[in-house]
Structure 1
Amino acid sequence: MRTRALLSLVSLDGQPPSELRLFRAGQNKTTKGTYVFSERSATAVMAAFKEHGVELPFDYGHAMAVGANLSDDGKAAGWFTLEVRGGELWAVSIRWTDKAAKEIAAREWRYVSPWFEYDPESREITTIINVALTNIPATHEAQPLMAASLLEFLENSMREKIVSLLGLSAEATDEEIAAAVEAITKKLASAEEELSKAAKAAEETKANILAAGTTLIETTDWGSKVEELSRQLTARDAAVEALSKEVETLKAEKLSVERKGLIEEGIRSFKIAPAQRAYFEKKTLEDIREYLSVAPVLVPPSVTPSGEPLVSLTDEDKAMAEKLGLTPDQMAKGKEVLARKAFTASP
């Protein structure tokens, strides 16, 4: 099993560098724990990089990790390749975009933060995904953004879509949602039973037509009777077709609800990022279940590996709170609200 983590490790000095060190050899101590870049790490990281066969991207503020719109904030800030030097991992041959180069030179960005996978047992780094420009290093003052934003995302996005699909109000409870799903299941079973009855009736009608064929031919009004029976058969066939469409619609609705439920479960358990929702909505239930059974847990920025939030105030924050007549708790809650809004601004 591999786990993903985000860290802020390297400071930019105001000039766009052409290369920079991502991890030193051996232990790399951070406030999110100690990660190890070993010989095994070097082999695994370079093998994954060579197998992928393309340059890796820089982004802005981990937009690619947290699910920004790739046509906006998810754009690349630059591109680089990897190289191991003396047991250390370096980003080399860096090609910054014009925008990123200007912002780095203007000190609008101060740090870089690699997004990587590691073995949770040995803490050895195994894969580099990308590197972000950031102004929030991995310190004890970092806000607990990801856990809160995921819950808010589930409440305000996935839940709304599910209750809308079920025809419920936005205030529907979990019990009401479960009852609606059960009702759809029962309705589907009933529709399938009606379809079976209609199909059987259609077969009986056809048999009646064949059995009455000889008699109809011998009578003076055989043509009108055949026409009437044909109309009955057409009506039966239309009913069967209508029921078939209704059954297919109900099946599709049930699959959609189950699919969205699995996606919601994956996001809640940190195995699916919000940005992957549209991708998984196109997958089958079997594909999603298989993915969730083996997928690693995504460790978001500013959350400890144990999931505990880290919130505190700087001296400047405390001084400002005193001027505004706020308690430290009020000031901290205000900072947390602003941080969450900034995180959830990305679709």
Structure 2
Amino acid sequence: MSISNFHTTPPALPAFNVSTALLASEVPAGAAGAAPEWIKITPRGTADTRDGRVYLFDPEKLVARFKADAIDLATDIDHALALRATKGEKADAIGWVKELKAQPDGTYARVEWLPAGKATLAARTHRYVSPTFHHTEAGEATWIHSVSLVAAPALNMPALASALPGGPGEAPATVRQALGLDAIADDAACLAAIGELRAAFVPIGLFNDAVATLNAANGTIAELRSTDRKRKVGELIEGALRAFKITPAQRAQYEALCQTEAGFTHVATLFANTTPMFQPSGLDQRRPDTGNALETPEMLAARAARYREAQAAAGLALTHAEAVRALTSNPSLGR
């Protein structure tokens, strides 16, 4: 298929090494005015731009990449997918490239036109084809992004070209700023920074699994700590009760104070420095250990009498009750 009036122009997409509206060639009319099935989208070999840059097209490589990707290429109007879709604006496809073919004079695409595409071609409002393609630093096209219908050859599209400043290898200022790079950073520096970000990226599924596992582990640890604290608090309070350092009525108060680690340490120190408030009462059916057999009331009364006599001889008169209290406090007296 012969296509004439091939032209070039130099704009570049805000993505790295992607050019749009570089090429524009007129769409050939189909039979009886129908939309053509095959259209030429790139030349073969080099194409010079108006500002002196050179791009290289290898149709065989472009076809091989298209087949490897196994994805239909979108056809749009005025590079809408490359310019507006990246900003979140509406950009619809008007056709789909189903096949690429390498020919002696360039790369051809077989397009399945949607009604909007057929209507645009029939109205003759956009008569030219212009591809958007990714290229290397040296300007060699590596794959086709999309194919557009435009209203004029590329050399007559200054508005589109001027809206996309920067040549190959020059990263947009907004990208450099977003990555925290200086004003002279090129594509290579930006790609290196993006690579570092991607290396640190954790898939959201893996992140959620890790968080769930961590939460479960923290719950188990908290439960173990709670159980251990209850045991330690119980042992501390029981020890204080047995040592007559607190009363049973005070138990709840000290348990509340022990709910934190600082509170537990404070209560333990307090108990360690507290002297017992009571002497053994005998209410538990036991008497103080005298080193002998348990003392009967008769034995206590006899010992009290002897103690009173000894104190009287020393000039100190005691009542029977006073003698009993003294003997209770000191079991060795009166023996």
TM-score, normalised relative to structure 2:
0.45
Higher helix share: 1
TM-score, normalised relative to structure 1:
0.44
Larger Cα-atom Rg: 2
